[in-house]
DNA sequence: GGTGTTGCTGGAAACGTTTACAGAATGGTT
DNA sequence: AACCATTCTGTAAACGTTTCCAGCAACACC
């Protein structure tokens, strides 16, 4: 009776193979059956080009086999290695990856969290730029497992992976000091974002550790973009030509800094060293190759994905592991933009 | 009887509001109802924090409200503007976007096409790197609407948006010739890919149009990466120091070219001009700012998304529009890497 | 030949939603 | 008061799958 023109279903196969839909389902899922039945069903399925309806399967099974990754901006290369890593792992476990760009709109982030209740996605990895009380509330009441990439309050009931910006900044500044720099400027993004705040703390602590004073006139607070970096460094150098190093809170800012320095005829690294952060593909796109602090975005992605998958498989086993919070240790990747003067080749330190 | 601890369903609401599940559904979808009923249902839904199960809804409605975008490599910035545009449009129409990175594996591309039959996605935008007979077969038998970004055979029964690499290359080369360059090298990606093939054709035609001969020793065929660009330009200059311009099939290659030139002490653009292709964010990341041919990736993304949505809405209306194939006209974005000597500011031409 | 064990099988229910249909309530008209 | 038109409501079916359950056949063993 189901010989209509629509896509074949278990029922179509059952008819053609002369068995019940239950047997069709069992055979197709490898749950045994008489050899005779198995071949008949498999032949019918092959002949009809049957593909199971994943939606119906999701409804029955209660899981959609989809995961969501929510980030600020698809264009930011720092997310590239995260996405790549997360995608590889989730794919290996049979999950599809839904991508969501929130454009740094808080309301949009909350919408993603709330939409977990619609059963479209079995879990979420999210990179919030800011953490508001609404975020915490939404995280607490999320309908599916969530892993946050970024810093959270201690008592937040959510797994998280964070970068250690403080140590990262410290490594960068210490490296600059060790190579003889003394007037180290800092170009930061918005200070009221989580990364902006932490990187500023890191810069200050690093200066203190190295016994250098903090000169507020060497700090610029702007946006996380190339153009902002260009402007900031022009202004810094106008105000104080003695700057001999620029530490940037991300690679985009560092590329902007390099452009401004080139334009002003300052040599990198002979006159001014430049160090970026995140070690994105941009670091290898700049000239000279950019020294950058790898905050482990690939590894953060990997860990986040694994944490999420662990929570999901845990859902069946009724046991419940305590909240995990991991921190990835940064490593400085020294390249030509800051290396000892006159060195060309790339060298990596761990 | 459905007072269990699970997520609230229409049935939970129906119980609490004292109505039938049909009324709940109608009220929640704004299909009328007595004012009394409406308020009771809405209150119950709000109190329970009800969120409709999108999977069940998809099963009933036959559409998942999800679209898929399949590309080669998430890390390639040329896809960034495409994804951004597609995401914006699909989101505006209430669709989620599934992202799929095929890593240039043909089998994976075919798997994506075939998986359209599982009803997870209502349509697909795909950027194939190569087009094999299997591709054409899979496109022909796709279970859902598909739009291809890239070149297809004339008779392929699929909507497509293509860039005009030939004209793009022509504009680039003509621009180089007009600014006085005569020894114009060409650094290309693999010639057996669709973009590699077309860009090579464009370069040749452009040289012919300008009355310049083709010197095979000025052409390098390699990969679409920065490092490949570095190597290729070093080799080109070793073999022939008279090169006064490098036209690259890609912004990554162009950045590599710039690095090699810097390293060899050649000034850009005074000694050698550099032009890239795709006008990705990398063009603004290089120094000097990179002249590049905008092949309209954002616009291709926009058109592809709109074509796809049109096909999807068409599915109900039983009418069937003929196959569409649109071509986006490229435009040259002149920046410092090729501009008239001694000019710094960015200038755009259309 | 009875009896238990094993392995398949088909019927039916369930997942949560939307919707066709028929029946009930309402209100207005004669 | 009877009637009709209109609006609203509840029952039940449907989307396509998986799975519980009971039935049944085959088989080996006493």
pLDDT digits (tens, 9 = 90+) for A226-238: 999 999 999 999 9
The answer to whether the C-beta of A58 is closer than 7 A to strand D is no
Q: Enumerate residues 42 to 61 of chain A having a beta carbon within 8 A of any beta carbon in chain B.
A: 49, 51-56, 58-59
> How confident is the model at residue A27, as a pLDDT?
97
Of B59, B226, B262, the CB nearest to A284: B226
Instruction: State how far residue B253 is from chain A, nearest Cα, in angstroms.
Output: 10
pLDDT above 90 as % of chain B: 85
B225 touches chain A (CB under 8 A): no
CA pair distance B182, B207, nearest whole angstrom = 10
Burial B152-161 (b: 16+ CB within 10 A, else e): beeebebbbb
Q: Rounded to 5 degrees, what are φ and ψ at A43?
A: -65, -45
* Residue B157 DSSP one-character state: S
Protein-contacted positions of strand C (CB under 7 Å): 7-12, 14-20
pLDDT tier at A343 (50, 70, 90 boundaries)? very low
A29 touches chain B (CB under 8 A): no
A263 touches chain B (CB under 8 A): yes
Question: Which candidate in B58, B144, B251 is best for mutational testing of the A interface (most A CBs within 10 A)?
Answer: B58
Q: Which residue of B has its CA nearest to A85?
A: B74
CA B84, B85, B91: angle at the middle one, nearest 5?
90
Q: Enumerate residues 331 to 350 of chain B having a beta carbon within 8 A of any beta carbon in chain A.
A: 344
> How confident is the model at residue B5, as a pLDDT?
63
CA pair distance B73, B100, nearest whole angstrom = 9
pLDDT, mean of residues B40-64:
96
Q: Which residue of B has its CA nearest to A63?
A: B55
Could you tell me the CATH superfamily of domain A165-294? Response regulator (3.40.50.2300)
pLDDT tier at A111 (50, 70, 90 boundaries)? very high
pLDDT tier at A346 (50, 70, 90 boundaries)? very low
pLDDT reading at A117 higher than 90: yes
Q: Enumerate residues 288 to 327 of chain B having a beta carbon within 8 A of any beta carbon in chain A.
A: 288-289
Judging contacts by C-beta atoms under 8 Å, the chain B residues touching residue A286 are 285-287
Give, in Å, how far the C1' of C9 lies from the CA of A4: 26
> How confident is the model at residue B105, as a pLDDT?
87
pLDDT reading at A17 higher than 60: yes
pLDDT tier at B74 (50, 70, 90 boundaries)? confident
**Are B74 and A96 within 8 A, CB to CB?**
no
> How confident is the model at residue B213, as a pLDDT?
92
**Are A98 and B99 within 8 A, CB to CB?**
yes
Residue nearest to nucleotide C20 (CA to C1'): B22
**Are B55 and A53 within 8 A, CB to CB?**
no
What B84-92 contacts at long range (C-beta under 8 Å, 24+ apart), as own/partner pairs, is: B84/A74, B84/A75, B84/A101, B84/B298, B84/B301, B85/B298, B85/B299, B85/B301, B85/B302, B85/B305, B86/B125, B86/B301, B86/B302, B86/B304, B86/B305, B87/A74, B87/A99, B87/A101, B89/B302, B89/B305, B89/B306, B89/B309, B90/B305, B90/B309
> How confident is the model at residue A74, as a pLDDT?
86
A132 touches chain B (CB under 8 A): no
CA pair distance A48, A64, nearest whole angstrom = 25
Query: Among candidates B131, B200, B159, which has minimal Cα distance to B320?
Result: B159
The mean pLDDT value of chain A amounts to 92
pLDDT tier at B340 (50, 70, 90 boundaries)? low
The mean pLDDT value of chain B amounts to 92
pLDDT reading at A350 higher than 60: no
pLDDT tier at A85 (50, 70, 90 boundaries)? very high
CATH 3.40.50.2300 residue ranges for chain B = 63-163+297-319, 165-294
In sequence order, what are the residues at sequence separation of 6 or more whose Cβ sits closer than 8 angstroms to the Cβ of residue B258? A287, B268, B274, B286, B287, B290, B337
> Can you tell me which residue has the tokens 């703390």?
A201
What B7-15 contacts at long range (C-beta under 8 Å, 24+ apart), as own/partner pairs, is: B7/A117, B7/A143, B7/B51, B7/B53, B8/B45, B8/B48, B8/B49, B8/B50, B9/B50, B9/B53, B12/B48, B12/B50, B13/B41, B13/B44, B13/B45, B13/B48, B13/B50
pLDDT, mean of residues A331-341:
87
**Are A98 and B98 within 8 A, CB to CB?**
yes
H or E stretch at A206:
helix A194-209
Instruction: State how far residue B203 is from chain A, nearest Cα, in angstroms.
Output: 25
The answer to whether the C-beta of B3 is closer than 7 A to strand C is no
Burial B17-56 (b: 16+ CB within 10 A, else e): bebeeebbbbbbeeeebeeebbebbbebbeeeebbbbbbb
A225 touches chain B (CB under 8 A): no
CA pair distance B325, B161, nearest whole angstrom = 6
**Are A54 and B120 within 8 A, CB to CB?**
yes
Give residues 10-29 of chain B lying near strand C (Cβ < 7 A).
Answer: 10-11, 21-22, 24-26, 28-29
Which string of DSSP letters, residue by residue, matches B165-221?
HHHHHHHHHHHHHHTT---EEEEES-TTSHHHHHHHHHHHHHHHHTTPPP-GGGEEE
The answer to whether the C-beta of A37 is closer than 7 A to strand C is yes
B120 touches chain A (CB under 8 A): yes
Least confident of A190-194, B57-61, B108-112, B337-341: B337-341
The correct CATH number of A62-162+297-319 out of 3.20.20.80, 3.40.50.300, 3.40.50.2300, 3.10.180.10 is: 3.40.50.2300
The answer to whether B293 and B329 have CB atoms below 8 angstroms apart is: no
Burial B236-273 (b: 16+ CB within 10 A, else e): bbeeeeebbbbbbbbbbbbbbbbbbbeeeebebbeebb
Token output for A325: 């919070």
The answer to whether B66 and B120 have CB atoms below 8 angstroms apart is: yes
pLDDT tier at A345 (50, 70, 90 boundaries)? very low
Of A101, A120, A287, the CB nearest to B55: A120
CA pair distance A301, A162, nearest whole angstrom = 10
**Are B55 and A74 within 8 A, CB to CB?**
no
> How confident is the model at residue B103, as a pLDDT?
83
> How confident is the model at residue A254, as a pLDDT?
98
CA pair distance B247, B243, nearest whole angstrom = 11
**Are B84 and A101 within 8 A, CB to CB?**
yes
Token output for B187: 């650094």
Nucleotide nearest to B59 (CA to C1'): D15
CATH 3.40.50.300 matches B63-163+297-319: no
pLDDT reading at B1 higher than 70: no
Give, in Å, how far the C1' of D21 lies from the CA of A22: 13
CA A187, A192, A196: angle at the middle one, nearest 5?
35
Of B52, B66, B118, the CB nearest to A51: B118
The answer to whether the C-beta of B180 is closer than 7 A to strand D is no
Q: A181 vs A125, A247, B349, CA distance in Å? A: 39, 11, 42
> How confident is the model at residue B73, as a pLDDT?
87
Q: A312 vs A139, A144, A177, A326, B340, CA distance in Å? A: 16, 8, 46, 18, 59
What is the CB neighbour count within 10 angstroms for residue B1? 5
> Can you tell me which residue has the tokens 């930061």?
A188
CB pairs < 8 Å spanning A and B:
127
Of A87, A98, A286, the CB nearest to B285: A286
Maximal C-alpha separation, chain A: 87
A31 compared with B1, residue with greater pLDDT: A31
Question: Which candidate in A57, A80, A119 is best for mutational testing of the B interface (most B CBs within 10 A)?
Answer: A119
Classify A303 as helix, strand or coil.
helix
pLDDT reading at B341 higher than 70: no
> How confident is the model at residue A102, as a pLDDT?
87
CA pair distance B150, B265, nearest whole angstrom = 38
The answer to whether the C-beta of B342 is closer than 7 A to strand C is no
Q: What is the pTM of this model?
A: 0.91
The answer to whether A274 and A254 have CB atoms below 8 angstroms apart is: yes
A87 touches chain B (CB under 8 A): yes
Residue nearest to nucleotide C26 (CA to C1'): B34
Nucleotide nearest to A118 (CA to C1'): C16
Of A87, A99, A285, the CB nearest to B286: A285
CATH 3.40.50.2300 residue ranges for chain A = 62-162+297-319, 165-294
Tell me the Cα Rg of chain A.
Answer: 26
Least confident of A190-199, A259-268, B327-336: A190-199
pLDDT reading at B166 higher than 80: yes
Residue nearest to nucleotide D8 (CA to C1'): B33
CA pair distance B300, B71, nearest whole angstrom = 13
> How confident is the model at residue A316, as a pLDDT?
75
- Residue A254 Cα to chain centre, angstroms: 20
Which string of DSSP letters, residue by residue, matches B115-144?
GGGGSS-S-EEE--SS--HHHHHHHHT-SS
A74 compared with B20, residue with greater pLDDT: B20
- Residue A320 Cα to chain centre, angstroms: 25
**Are A58 and B55 within 8 A, CB to CB?**
yes
What is the CB neighbour count within 10 angstroms for residue A288? 21
Q: Which residue of B has its CA nearest to A227?
A: B284
């Amino acid at each position: 009776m189901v010989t209509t023109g629509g896509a074949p279903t278990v029922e179509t196969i059952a008819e053609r193979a002369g068995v019940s839909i239950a047997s069709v389902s069992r055979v197709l899922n490898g749950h045994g059956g008489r050899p005779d039945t198995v071949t008949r069903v498999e032949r019918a399925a092959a002949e009809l080009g049957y593909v199971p309806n994943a939606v119906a399967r999701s409804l029955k099974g209660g899981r959609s086999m989809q995961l969501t990754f929510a980030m600020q901006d698809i264009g930011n290369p720092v997310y590239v290695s995260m996405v790549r890593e997360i995608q590889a792992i989730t794919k290996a476990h049979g999950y599809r990856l839904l991508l969501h760009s929130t454009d740094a709109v808080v309301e949009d982030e909350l919408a993603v969290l709330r939409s977990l209740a619609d059963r479209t996605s079995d879990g979420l990895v999210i990179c919030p730029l800011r953490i508001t009380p609404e975020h915490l509330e939404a995280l607490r009441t999320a309908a599916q497992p969530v892993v946050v990439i970024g810093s959270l309050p201690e008592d937040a009931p959510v797994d998280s992976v964070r970068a250690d910006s403080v140590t990262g900044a410290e490594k960068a500044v210490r490296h600059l000091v060790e190579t003889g720099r003394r007037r180290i400027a800092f170009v930061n993004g918005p200070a009221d974002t989580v990364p902006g705040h932490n990187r500023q703390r890191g810069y200050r602590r690093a200066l203190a550790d190295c016994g250098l004073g903090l000169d507020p006139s060497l700090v610029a607070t702007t946006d996380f973009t190339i153009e902002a970096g260009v402007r900031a460094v022009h202004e810094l150098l106008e105000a104080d030509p003695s700057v001999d190093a620029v530490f940037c809170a991300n690679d985009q800012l560092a590329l902007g800094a390099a452009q401004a320095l080139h334009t002003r005829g300052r040599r990198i690294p002979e006159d001014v060293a430049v160090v970026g952060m995140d070690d994105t593909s941009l670091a290898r796109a700049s000239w000279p190759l950019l020294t950058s602090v790898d905050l482990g975005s690939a590894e953060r992605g990997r860990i986040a994905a694994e944490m999420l998958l662990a929570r999901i498989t845990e859902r069946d086993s009724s046991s419940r592991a305590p909240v995990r919070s991991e921190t990835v240790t940064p490593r400085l990747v020294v390249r030509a933009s800051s290396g000892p003067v006159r060195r060309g080749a790339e060298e990596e330190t761990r």
